[in-house]
Structure 1
Amino acid sequence: MASSRVPDPIESVRHQLRPLFDQIVIKELDQDRVRRSGLVVPPGTHEPPPEQGIVLAVGPGLDWWASAGVEMPIEIGDHVVFPASAGVWVEVDEERLLVCRVTQLLGVLESASMND
C-alpha cells in the first residue's frame, strides 16, 4: 500500500544537499513574513537590508571545535537573520537556497524559531 505522506521539505533538502564543515543551508523567507516578524531597518542605510530564513541543514562544524568544546550554535528549524551578501545561492529541486558559513549569520530570532 502506497503511503500518502506529504514529503517534508526539510527532510528532502537534507537528503540532497549535505553541508560540510561549518556551512548551513537556509531557505529564504518571503518578504511578507519577514515584515510580520518585526525586524526593522532604519531609513537611510546604504546597505541592503538583512534577509531572514529558516535553517534546513547544518554541517558538523570544524575539527578543532570539538577539541575546544565548541558546538554548532545553530539548529535545523532556527529562524535566522543574515546579510544580503552572505554565502552562495544554489538551486535544489527548483528551490533557491543559501549555503553560508555559520559565522556569516547576524543572529537567531528566538521567538520566531519557537513559533515555527
Structure 2
Amino acid sequence: MSFLLAFIKNVNTIGDAKIDDVLNDYIAFYQDRIDRGLQVDRSTCPYNETMLQDRKAICKNMLTNPFEKFERKRFLYYSKDLSIIAMNHALYSKMNKEDWDRVKSQMQEDLQHYYSDMGGM
C-alpha cells in the first residue's frame, strides 16, 4: 500500500515514475512510523532505523516485494537503465482522475485497517 501510494504520488503524465522519487517516499513512510514510535510493520519486517539508511537494500527489497506482485500481473514494469517504474501504458491510458482518487483512497483506507489490526496507525 505504501509502495503504491508512493508510485501514484510520483507518476508522470505518461505513467512513469523515477525510482528514486518512489523510493524516497517509500522510505519516508516507514521512517515516519519509526520517528513516531509506531510499529513499522509485522515483526518479520526487516525495516528498522539502520536498514532504512541503506537505500540499495531498501530498493532491492521494494522491487522484490511489493513491486514484483504488480510486475507479475503486468501492471508495472521496472527499467533499470532508465531508472523508472512504469505503469502498463494501455492500463494507464484508461485511468482518469477519479480512478486515481479511488485507488489512493482505497490504499489509505487499507493502511488504516492494516495498522489498526496491529495496534495503531
For the superposition of Structure 1 and Structure 2, which TM-score range results when normalised by the shorter chain?
under 0.3
TM-score, structure 1 as length reference: 0.24
Scaled by the length of structure 2, what TM-score is found? 0.23
Decide which structure has greater helix share.
2
